[in-house]
Copies of this chain bind each other. A is one copy, B any other.
Amino acid sequence: LIATERPSGPPCLEFWFEFGSNYSYFSVMRIEELARRSGVAIAWKPFLLGPIFRDLGWSSSPFVLQPEKGRYVWRDMEREALKYGLQFRKPSEFPRVAVLPMRVALLGSGQPWMGAFCREVMRQNWVDDLDINDPGNVRRALTGLTPEPEAVMEEAQSAANKMRLRDQTAEARKRGIFGAPTFFFNDEMFWGNDRLEDAIAFAQAARPE
């Protein structure tokens, strides 16, 4: 069962993520099950990390700009994947452009297929080493999840939806987001996959009796 959002229902945790972000991979794979078990709803908030990094004065990911940290991070990813029981292969390209799947994800927020779609895109990037911005791969990730994948693909590329992704990215910047994944419960911000459990516990504690 996939939990759907109910505005006046369970406490709702915002999940800001990027398909190109390596630590977002673990959170995308884990969040739906964790949130379901805790009675917390998820508001999926895809945004583009590139413009945020550029705004902060970085031309790329810190894991590219800082070679020491970069070397460390790929080993950390291997160990963390093992800990979570997830597959992981270092992609041949990092960070990958993810604009098209991010646009689809924007349409998917609140749809029952959102979690499964996001996990499939992440698997393409972090397990199968595929170009996740390729329309064929995005279409394959949607296949079987929605009766009209082609309509979703088309709407994803509409001018209005492109603008929505730019707006959501601007909102991320305004909220003080500097990396991904980031979780918000109201104004309470949690940064990084390492804080996913804490963020869910925080939201759960706010649940009405």
13 contacts between A and B (CB under 8 A): A56-B68, A66-B178, A68-B176, A68-B177, A69-B178, A71-B176, A72-B178, A72-B189, A75-B188, A75-B189, A76-B195, A79-B198, A194-B194
Nearest CB to that of A175 among chain B residues? Answer: B68
Number of copies of chain A assembled together: 2
- Residues of chain B with a CB closer than 8 A to A72's CB: 176, 178, 189, 191
Nearest CB to that of A57 among chain B residues? Answer: B66
How many A residues touch B, CB cutoff 8 Å?
20
Give A63 Cβ to nearest chain B Cβ, in Å.
11
Partner of A76, one of B83, B177, B191: B191
A: residues with CB less than 8 A from B are 56, 66, 68-69, 71-72, 75-76, 79, 83, 176-178, 188-191, 194-195, 198
- Residues of chain B with a CB closer than 8 A to A190's CB: 76
Contact B198 A83 (CB under 8 A): yes
- Residues of chain B with a CB closer than 8 A to A75's CB: 188-189
Give A188 Cβ to nearest chain B Cβ, in Å.
8
Question: In the docked arrangement, what's the CA distance between A66 and B177, Å?
Answer: 12
Question: In the docked arrangement, what's the CA distance between A79 and B202, Å?
Answer: 10
